[in-house]
Structure 1
Amino acid sequence: MTVDAPAADAPVAAVGSADASAEPRVRVLGVRHHGPGSARAVRAALEEWCPTVVLVEGPADADPLTVFVGREGMEPPVALLAATTDAPRRAAWWPFATFSPEWQALRWAAEHGVPARFIDLPAGVVLAREPGAGAPDGQAPDGDASGGESGDPGAGVGVDQDDAADADEAGGVGGPDASDVRADPVAALAHAAGYDDPERWWEDVVEQRSGDAAPFDVVADAMAALREAFGQEGAGAGTRGVAGDAPADDHERHEARREAYMRQQVRAALREGHERVAVVCGAWHAPALRGRLPAAAPDARLLTGLPKRKVLLTWAPWTASRLSLRSGYGAGIESPGWYEHLFTCDDDVVARWLVRVAGVLRERDLPVSSAHVIEATRLATVLAAVRGRPLAGLAEVTEATRAVLCEGDDALLAHVTADLVVGERLGTVPDDVPTVPLEADLRATARRLRLPFEAAPRTLELDLRKANDLARSQLLHRLALLGVAWGTPDVARTRSTGTFRETWSLHWRPELTVALVEASTWGVTVPAAAAACVVAGAAGADLPAITRLVEHTLVADLPDALDALLPALDERAARDVDVTHVLHAVPPLVRAHRYTDVRGTRVEALARVADALVVRACAALPGAVTGLDDDAARALRTDLDAAHDAVRLRDDADVGALWTAALRGVAGRTDVSGVLSGRATRLLLDAQELTPEAAATRLSRALSRGTPARTTAAWAEGFLDGGGLLIAGDRRLLTVLDDWVATLREDDFTDVLPLLRRTFGGLPVGERRALADAVAHLGAGRARAVEDDLDLDPELVSAPLATVLRLLGAPS
């Protein structure tokens, strides 16, 4: 893995052509990304050789950011973030953990005052590739998305899926083919060594090495053999495609360009006069960078004319869980927490790990003693010996944890995996790291409001009567308008605790940094950006959408945006003739008006608009309910319920009287779907605009024998939905319903049974139980009444009774 010094007048293509006995000027350290053994070996090699420059695989245009590696406040896991300035949603991540060999190389350089550079293709070139171009298995170029689900702001281009020692998943036992080797060369080596699990092979051979010499030469030789066997020769791979022997697909061309660019950077370092050049790269690329480098001209031609986009580059906090394979990051590992333990722990690795496991279980009030830890340590060691492994690995430790500490309980083992094996620690970056002004404003505001950025979800209870809590609420609402979902409101808990309280679930994820970059196009501060985003979103929005925007704008305290929205709201309300749009628009306006007492915002115009919409809804409702089938009626019933709750919340006598009259009109009609007429009757009963006796009479009339069974079932569905306790507590209503069900003909009962099951199945369990108890008591009471009404003569019934008893086999 050495390159000899060139003569002073030698052309660039002749780098490495000097006398083989001379001191090597270049050492290539082929590593596995996020490997503690590789990180330890790289650190030791750098301490021994003391290079004058350190070249690290990574985007070359991120070189200015290397100065922050040694700064106070830079704590991994962190990631280099590159986002295109014209479309920030297209972004790439290069994550680093404490145990990443590249990170240790950068830290060593920072601690010793040695320049460090990234030598891979610039991020602007990587992001200029078309999504999915040439990537295997239909994935994005250079790997999977950055850990985000489809549609997340962070979903974009990942990095370095195919680097040498990225053991993503095991190769097949039956032997790898060319595509398998390119995707996971470690699996091919593991298969050759007789392992069916590449993770276990790499851990045995590399990660658990402590004082031994680093296996860089051996690994590089193995990679060279793989590349030669599968048609991608070591140092010559980068020249293919220049003439004749072109790479087979776009992905191979991209890999060839990457290695050509790396060689160019090595040549540049040598031309600058550096005596000792250390190169830290994925082991797959090591054969292309060691030994005598090929001529520079073919590499230059291969790199000519590459498309490039303008990008923003910065450091961003990352999480341990995003380093795991299941996050979707291509160069991930299954157990970042375990690997960090391997890197930071020098002795008694298994025992110290199991002590930490015991601590996690004790936090859950489980009785784990020192004897448990000792026994689990012994079991893990014995398992490793039985399996012929040099030391106990994660598999043995996990089995010992399950058997001894968790007593076979996989649920407890899942807690250990989440807390320790994977983990949720969030890295930090210094405040002076260059970023967009919007993110800087958010971080300053969050620091002032004492809102920490945490990777683990937590619940935040806010009392809006307190100034700091009110400011927190406004910040989270503004971020939600910008699409930066740091907090998710718990609507159910918020409504149950009144208008003075809000409940949020906070969870900071790395891809939210990309969302901030994207949102920065609206402004440089959170309030200004949110206001601009709202105003732009109102253009072309329909009435329900603009009313929701008004509601969110009020709770976010964006008065300038509200002033721009109100004229648009008036205009939409005057033109919209769709009654469903009108009904949709009423609740957000009324809820927004309700916030005046708590937040002190100016909403005088909202009450006027909301009242006008209720008047229009009342006028349009008779025509809107005509001719609807039951399915359409169910959809309208949801809007009717929401508007009814809003009118009651509005608590205006004139508006309430008008709404009640409209409901009475719907409830009294026989030419509309029973779902709506039954629902209107129920709403009137709940509002005490209809007596229980009158409601029972209407129910009895709707369920009379002259009405088709499906029609009566629809009426019952509308009346009973969400009100099991009402029926259970009113004997008259229950009797009417019970008589109707009892007198149904068999065909009619079969016809309406699905509707009844849907109606009663939607009730909460407690209400269903109360309703069942009420029906049981009703049946028992009727049986006693029938028995009391019977007047039998004992002498007349004695003979038939004796005959029946004899037939049943009873003694005479």
Structure 2
Amino acid sequence: MTDVPTGPVVPVEPDPGARTGRPVAHDGPRVDVLGVRHHGPGSARAVAAALDELRPTVVLLEGPADADPLSVYVPGLVPPVALLATVDDDPAQASFWPFASFSPEWQALAWAAAHDVPVRFIDLPSGTVAALTAARRAAEAALDVPADEDESAVPGGADSHASSVPDVEHDVPGDEAPDTPAPASVREDPLGALAAAAGHDDAERWWEDVVEQRSGSLETFAAVAEAMAALREHAEHDTRTPEGDEDEELREAHMRQQVRAALREGHARIAVVCGAWHAPALTTPLPPAAPDARLLRGLPRVRTTLTWVPWTTARLARGSGYGAGVSAPGWYSHLFSVHEDVVPRWFVGVGAALRGRDLQVSSAHVIEASRLAESLATVRGHRSVALDDVMDATRAALCDGDAGLTEWVTRELVVGTGLGSVPDGVPALPLDVDLRATARRLRLKLEDAPRNLDLDLRTDGGLARSHLFHRLTLLDVPWATPRTSTVRSSGTFRESWTLRWQPELSVALAEAALHGTTVVGAANAAVRAAARDADLPRLTVLVEQTLLADLPEVLDALLGRVDERAAHAGDVEQLLDAVTPIIRAHRYSDVRGTPVARLAHVARTMLVRASSGIVPAALGRDDDTAADLARRVAEADAAVALLDHDPTTDVWVRTLRTVAAHDHLPGHPVGRATRLLLDGARITPEDVAERLSRVLSVGTPVRTQAGWIEGFLAGGGLVVAHDATLLGVLDDWLATVPGDALTDVLPVLRRTFGAMPAAERRAIGDATARLAARRGRGGPAAPTGDDGGLAIDDPRIAGPLATALLLLGGGR
């Protein structure tokens, strides 16, 4: 064991040596407060070393006090994991407390489990946190004050690692806010105050140098506690600091009470692991207990259920939405686990990962990257190589300046792809229990091997399975993913899925548990949450998904909101985007045996509103926005075809005819509307040829002509390959395009024909060759027979024909 300097002995009674941070002789119990940065590798190493040195008889951890019974499962957990607390009466109100291998709290849990030492969480119980959070939000809503976005870890919940008072936890460099805020108070940014006092303008860089990249010792904890005590004293006089923080006072009062309880039980050596900001408040001698007892008396509390759930390194990152994370968990894990040659070993791993992508990364590249990172740290005045030094060296020496490849390294290594696990004996989430029971009833297995499944929606079992899969899709738990069926069917009664239960889906299920305790209830709540701020297209997609998932409880409310939004929608693009899913939902409602009368009304009303807005919306558009409008019109037309003789389709057809005949609209929508009318047999090829001749006349701008052709051919090129008249009109036009206009026309034509499948381009080329031969143009012309088709050159095909006959068994 590495020798660690003896840490501060903090006696229960007043002791002259308690303030010095030096060991003093004392016969009574001792309380050592280890103030840490949550998810800090330096703090984690220091905690592990300190516990080995102190050998406490009980370990007290900042965390929900009602999670104590779950500590027995620690030996079977593989981090990253998280404590999850859900309110029994409102599962959407939940909290996560994530732990990684480099979290100081996790190291304390692991040490206590390995040494058979009792461990206790000492922060406010999760039920009290939930009740206080709900009360505060209700008060803010009554005052019309927006809630603090960083106040909770998840919607409706509070995270003990993201409390209203910073516990000296911030992201690593490189995750700065885009705008520089006004100077924060000491209470809001204790690291900034410490860094400024040390003459540094980068708080994160300072903390990295001083703590996180050092092994740490009990002396470090004494120094941090002393610094925080000074900051807390200064914060009392900071005019920018709000007068008191009730949550902080409650939390620290509860933690002090738990320390007193451990002392009353007769523990001789007590180790307290908490956020550094709280360390001075828990250092003995403690103040009288009576004020703390009065403060905690009568606190509200709701019933909650706690359990362990697996977590991922990506969700430990700040970008995942959980405020207690760090932006580089993969890098922090490396700092924690590697003690020598930290930077070279990191680059060895990066090089191996890049070689796994078949990139040429040699040992020379790795050596150069290591040297560059160290040089950058020196030039920048860093005491040690920081993450920004490492990433700059990675981009320059290993990725050849490729930003996309550097982002891949960040995602795969700096953030990481690690997944934690929990043993089978851990209490399961109610949602997990309900899902597994439903799967058993439907004869489905949650197994890792992929399995293809075709469902017949005309059977009860097939329909029930479909409902389950669509509900899980709404919950972002992709156990089943849609696939293209290999069974030919033109009906809508069949669905094809691929089932695979991967380990990371346990994390997704834990997040989905915030919505409810059953799959049906959680899906209903997820739809309500998604619909709150959804625009019209998103609402109609939700209607379709809700219908497929068979959630009638929320369907009526959704339809009402869709109708209301559609009535006030002034954006025709939104209306067109919304038409497709609402019409599909109307059609599939009958197929699934869930007819919804209001769907027909909403679909017809929305289609009429969209139809009336197309022509005004198209006027004055440029080429790009006109092409986008034409695409949306085509998508809506495909949906309208599903209505089957509905009177509303006549309105749509009249709109298409108006657009196709309009002389002042951009070319894209006019050409697309003409093609849609042709494909629907509403106009003849002769009509199209006449319109095309008129559009391609001299008086029409060349860009409008090119846009018309692009819009018309976007539906496929075979129409001109099989219609000599249309092809002739196009050929004549292209032959007469002025030279100075080719720069405008050729990019459009290249884009148009480049988007076609190779077989279509080949067919158009063959048709053009035949046309050229008939017109007697120069250049290579394909031979034609008497009927105008391609002539067969017998000598040229004799060899391939003989080979084909041999393969088919037809002789030599």
Name the TM-score class by shorter chain. Answer: 0.5 to 0.7
Residues 160 and 637 of structure 1: CA distance in aligned 2, closer, same or farther (over 3 Å): same
Aligned-partner Cα distance in 1 for 2:462–2:613: 50
Q: How does 1:651-730 map to 2 (within 5 A)?
A: 682-687=675-680, 690-697=683-690, 720=712, 722-723=714-715, 725=717, 729=721
* Aligned-partner Cα distance in 1 for 2:269–2:248: 26
Helix, strand or coil for the counterpart of 1:330?
coil
1:377-776 paired onto structure 2 within 5 Å: 377-381=370-374, 391-442=384-435, 449-450=445-446, 462=452, 464=454, 475-481=468-474, 483-486=475-478, 508=505, 510=507, 513-520=510-517, 524=518, 526=519, 586-588=583-585, 590=587, 629-631=615-617, 645=638, 682-687=675-680, 690-697=683-690, 720=712, 722-723=714-715, 725=717, 729=721, 732-733=725-726, 766=755
SS at match of 1:81: strand
Contact 2:372/2:393 (<8 A) preserved: yes
- Name the SS for the 1:69 alignment partner: helix
1:110 is aligned to 113
Secondary structure of the corresponding residue to residue 33 of structure 1: coil
Partner of 1:268: 261
Change (3 A) 1:408 1:497: farther
User: Are 2:348 and 1:355 equivalent residues in the alignment?
Assistant: yes
Work out whether residues 56 and 279 of structure 1, in 8 Å CA contact, stay in contact via their aligned partners in 2: yes
**Count of residues in Structure 1 that have an aligned counterpart in Structure 2:** 702
Amino acid at match of 1:58: G
Contact 2:36 2:274 in 1 (8 A): yes
> How has the CA–CA distance of structure 1 residues 713 and 283 changed in structure 2, closer, same or farther, with 3 Å as cutoff?
same
Give the TM-score normalised by the residue count of structure 2. Answer: 0.67
User: Which one-letter code corresponds to 2:717 in the other structure?
Assistant: L
CA gap 1:761/1:289 in 2 versus in 1, 3 angstroms: farther
CA distance in 2, matches of 1:4, 1:369: 57
Stretches of structure 1 that go unaligned for 5 or more consecutive residues are: 8-18, 234-245, 454-459, 539-543, 594-601, 745-753, 788-812
Cα distance, 1:203 vs structure 2: 2.7
What is the SS of the residue equivalent to 1:329? coil
Asked if structure 1 preserves the Cα contact closer than 8 Å seen for 2:63 and 2:122, the reply is yes
Residue 214 and residue 630 in structure 1: after superposition, are their counterparts in 2 closer, same or farther (change >3 A)?
same
Counterparts of 1:272 and 1:93 in 2: how far apart (Å)? 30
2:214 maps to: 209
The answer to whether structure 1 residue 4 and structure 2 residue 11 are counterparts is yes
Q: 1:3, 1:291 within 8 Å by CA — same for their partners in 2?
A: yes
| 2:31 matches 1:38 | no
For 2:612 and 2:28, locate their aligned partners in 1 and report how far apart those are by CA, in whole Å. Answer: 93
Q: Deviations over 1:526-573 (max 9, x none)?
A: 4797699999999xxxxx9999889758866x7xx799999x99xx9x
Partner of 2:326: 333
Q: Which residue matches 1:88?
A: 91
8 Å contact from structure 2 (residues 515, 521) kept in 1 = no
Q: Which residue matches 2:806?
A: none
CA distance in 2, matches of 1:547, 1:586: 9
Cα distance change of structure 1 residues 529 and 511 upon mapping to structure 2, 3 Å threshold: closer
The amino acid across from 2:341 in the alignment is: D
Instruction: State the SS of the aligned residue for 1:118.
Output: strand
8 Å CA contact 2:97–2:160 kept in 1: the answer is no
Tell me, in whole angstroms, the C-alpha distance in 1 between the residues paired with 2:674 and 2:181.
Answer: 71
Which of 34, 43, 46 is the aligned partner of 1:29?
A: 34
Q: How big is the shift at 1:40?
A: 1.6
Q: What amino acid maps onto 1:40 in structure 2?
A: R
Question: What secondary structure, in the 3-state scheme, does the structure 2 residue paired with 1:181 have?
Answer: coil
Structure 2: how far apart are the matches of 1:439 and 1:678? 53
2:80 corresponds in structure 1 to 77
Partner SS state of residue 438, structure 1? helix
**Deviation of 1:60 (Å):** 1.7
Query: Which residue matches 2:781?
Result: none
Q: Which amino acid aligns with 2:33?
A: V
Contact 1:669 1:677 (8 Å CA) reproduced: no
Q: Kindly state the Cα deviation for residue 56 of structure 1 after the two structures are TM-superposed.
A: 0.5
Change over 3 Å in CA distance of 1:52–1:664 after alignment to 2: closer
Q: Secondary structure at the match of 1:182?
A: coil
Whether contact under 8 Å (1:338, 1:422) holds in the other structure is yes
TM-superposed CA distance for 1:479, in Å, is 1.0
Residue 354 and residue 160 in structure 1: after superposition, are their counterparts in 2 closer, same or farther (change >3 A)?
Answer: same
Kept in 2: contact 1:490–1:504 (CA 8 A): no
Distance 1:433 1:58 in 2: 18
